[in-house]
Structure 1
Amino acid sequence: MEAITIKSLSALEEAVEKLIKHIKEHKVVAFYGEMGAGKTTLISEICHQLGVGERVCSPSFAIVNVYNSDEKRPIYHFDFYRIKKLEEVYDFGYHDYFYSNDLCLVEWPEMVEELLPEHTLRLGIEVVDEYTRIVKMR
């Protein structure tokens, strides 16, 4: 399991450059971590580096936000924190997103673990202290 240590927000850009090399091999990326671990911050920087010009924020109430990258391909950003039953995920057509061949970035994947595609890149974000995070790829 490879890990990347991020010691401050100023180190985020370089860390995401390394992560993007791994992300390009996957279409679904799941972000695991406690509340406040930095999932949305990490996703925001990934989107920025992929050419998203708009503001990236967690889709807590909408469940999914759609951004456009430099390649004019959509990037789907999910937040499953508020999901109570899998039926809610079926209702909005998760399959069409996860198997679209477009990048899907998933916060709170624990809620839909059984629906994630086989080749999902899983990133665990460990909080070390107020500024330091370790991102483990599996």
Structure 2
Amino acid sequence: MIIRTNSVEETIELGEKIGLSLKVGDVVTLNGDLGAGKTHFTKGIAKGLDVDDYVTSPTFTIVNEYSGRIPLYHFDVYRIEDIYEMYEIGFEEYLYGQGVCIIEWSEVVKELLPKNTIDIVIKRIDENTRDIEIKSDREFCIK
């Protein structure tokens, strides 16, 4: 399914709708070029999970943790050079823990991800427009 958003606000709103449907143990991958809107989409997911904190990209910290109705673990693995670095930060504990994981640049750790991962690809069309492709066996109420 591909959904077009025409503003940052619409991208966040779509993320929120996805976030409302997520449950403990869900893993969401976000892929797209730099500036595609992955962090804005994550802000929406966080909103759907009732996270009150300000959401930022964990580019230099690898993972940010947020409290909400379900804990949110937001990964940015862009700077990971070796997949074993993920084991060092306790990735499996997050992945199979009591929260939702969002993983930006997930291609780097693809072999570590569960089969039922929700894959989302964001393509920047122009300054405001994004095509957001959701690949999942699950249905989401996003109308």
Does the aligned pair in 2 maintain the 1:26–1:119 contact within 8 Å? no
1:75 shift after superposition: 0.7
Alignment correspondent of 1:118: 115
Distance (whole Å) between structure 1 residues aligned to residue 34 and residue 52 of structure 2: 26
Aligned-partner residue type, residue 76 of structure 1: Y
Question: Structure 1, unaligned stretches of length 5 or more?
Answer: none
Overall identity of the aligned pairs, in %: 39
Distance (whole Å) between structure 1 residues aligned to residue 58 and residue 12 of structure 2: 22
Instruction: Classify 1:40/1:17 alpha carbon distance in 2 versus 1 (closer, same or farther; 3 Å).
Output: closer
Of the candidates 115, 121, 124, which is equivalent to residue 127 of structure 1? 124
Instruction: Classify 1:10/1:86 alpha carbon distance in 2 versus 1 (closer, same or farther; 3 Å).
Output: closer
1:58 shift after superposition: 0.7
Aligned-partner residue type, residue 63 of structure 1: I
Alignment correspondent of 2:46: 47
Instruction: Classify 1:10/1:64 alpha carbon distance in 2 versus 1 (closer, same or farther; 3 Å).
Output: closer
Name the SS of the counterpart of 2:46 in structure 1: helix
Name the SS of the counterpart of 2:93 in structure 1: helix
Alignment correspondent of 2:71: 74
1:18 shift after superposition: 3.7
1:50 shift after superposition: 1.8
Q: Which shows bigger deviation, 42-51 or 57-66?
A: 42-51
Instruction: Classify 1:38/1:74 alpha carbon distance in 2 versus 1 (closer, same or farther; 3 Å).
Output: same
Aligned-partner residue type, residue 78 of structure 1: F
Alignment correspondent of 1:36: 35
Tell me the C-alpha RMSD between the 2 structures: 1.8
Distance (whole Å) between structure 2 residues aligned to residue 50 and residue 25 of structure 1: 11
